[in-house]
Structure 1
Amino acid sequence: MGVRTLSEALQLSDECRVITTGSAPFNIVHTNKAWSKLTGFKFTEVANRSNSFLQGPHTEAKLVERMRAASEKGETTRVRVVNYDRYGTPFYNSIEIFPLRDMAGKLTHYCGVLHGEDIPDGVVPPIDRKPEELFGSTSGSSTDPDEEEETAAAASGWPAAAAGRGAGRVKRLRRGGHVTLQEALDNTEDAVVMTQPHPPYAITHVNAPWCEMCGYTLEEVEGLSSSILQGAETDEALLSELMASVRRGESSSATLVNYKKGGARFLNQVHIQPVFNQNDEVDQFMAMLHEVDEKERPPHAAPAAAKKAGRRGERA
């Protein structure tokens, strides 16, 4: 039995998983570490793109069409197709694509579960491509974005895109109120990290703005806790207050010192709130990060070194 809901698809797993939107242009909104290991691509490289970059000259058109037809009908499909990794090496991909639905039965996303298998030497030749040039230039390109997306989607095994990447609607999450998994996952403007709802609050998803801000990739932080951002000047008392709110399932905000991957110190205005699944239950916790100027530090966000000794809070 495969995954059926967005909540199930986002759980930490050793399976190779990719999640896309449920409507055109059916772009990628989440990949996990296992998927990146199989394909060689990082989430930040493929976010908001169709899956067509895995296709190549020996990808069977009839199998692609079978996947497309099933997806357009909202049906589960299983195929074994030739795909290509980041460096052009072919592999057999046994892929199962599930429609993910909400409580009302409405299709919200698709989840693909991949199983890779090596192809014997000489059976399918590799293709010559440079990873850094695979998606083309992100600026100054003469290619029309809508035309580029339609062309790419036509070769994809997922539902054909009817509009370019620029047509996707971005949902900015509300600060407070009832936030759903879909809203949290679809946010591509704020720096967002999502975690399991229980200790140690392992990271299940980070989006591209979070990766850009903090310097980590999704693949590096999946399964870890947000304590990777903490350091010498992180206020333990504020952390304790935040975690107390998290344990109560409440929203909470604070401004505290955090540290990026390379050790650079930054002032982080963080807002944490529960995220609800289709059963209206707390399924994840979501934190939105905003890097602010040091002048915006509130009085209670003084460096931890200035606090009294012995005030040790639980790490987020």
Structure 2
Amino acid sequence: MRPASFDYVRPASVAEACEALTAGGTVLAGGQSLVPLLKLRIVRPTRIIDLNRIDELAGITTNEAEELFIGAMTRHQDIADHPLVQSKVPLLASAARHLGDIQVRARGTIGGNICFADPRANLATALIALDAVAVLIHTGGLRDCPVADMFTGFRQSSRRADELLIRLRIRHTPEHAQGVYLELAPQLNGTPIVNVAVVPGAPGREPRIAVGGLFDIPWRAVTIEELARTGRATEHRIREAIDEFQTDRLRFEDPRGDAAYRARIASVLIAQALERCTTGRGREAPAQEE
């Protein structure tokens, strides 16, 4: 099927893109999520704003304040391969490596991945565990938004229609360098059924734990973080904490798994990730469905 007709705008700068957004339109980044929906006519925008000419939106840098900056148009493969990401926040590099095949990683962008707001998105889970901040711009100025607050529902983002996500900011610490990303997927590089990201805490502080695929938004597992801090994060207790939080309103189900199955897998993956944070082993081992 062909997409419905639309106007096409290709700005050359962030300023031009912001100006274009004031007139309305749907943003095109990598297109790995949007283009299939256009072809099926599930979405029918009247105007597409293509960001692929804006070079200033791509790239990875750091500063003396131990902050990592990733441009919204940075491709997944560049994130997976970049030495700064691999050394400072390796769980993000691992999440990017497990995202789709090489063609998808070569085109897909971190900004598009976040704004599409799929609750199973690899990078969303990793960024929440890393306490990352999204930087958005509009004609009136900039706005910082924690990545955890970017999600308001299934594939629904808190980004306003006139805003453009320009970069992600991550403060990296020694704990971030020990983070672990794990997922269960139906096949290698397939969409995860459940994924988890864990950043170990400093002495006396909770780790940060994020889970994708349990609810209609990625979940920051605060109750499990407290269990981990006090040494009570057994697989059984983790499952109890998930069951207490899981409600009909929030739970996510699809043909690949109901709520109970996803809760069971999440409890196993969280327990494994916490153990690997402690032992420092096996950070690259992905799980696959048998």
Normalising by the smaller structure, the TM-score range is under 0.3
Q: Which has the higher helix share?
A: 2
Q: Which has the higher strand share?
A: 1
- Length-normalised TM-score, structure 2: 0.23
Larger Rg belongs to: 1
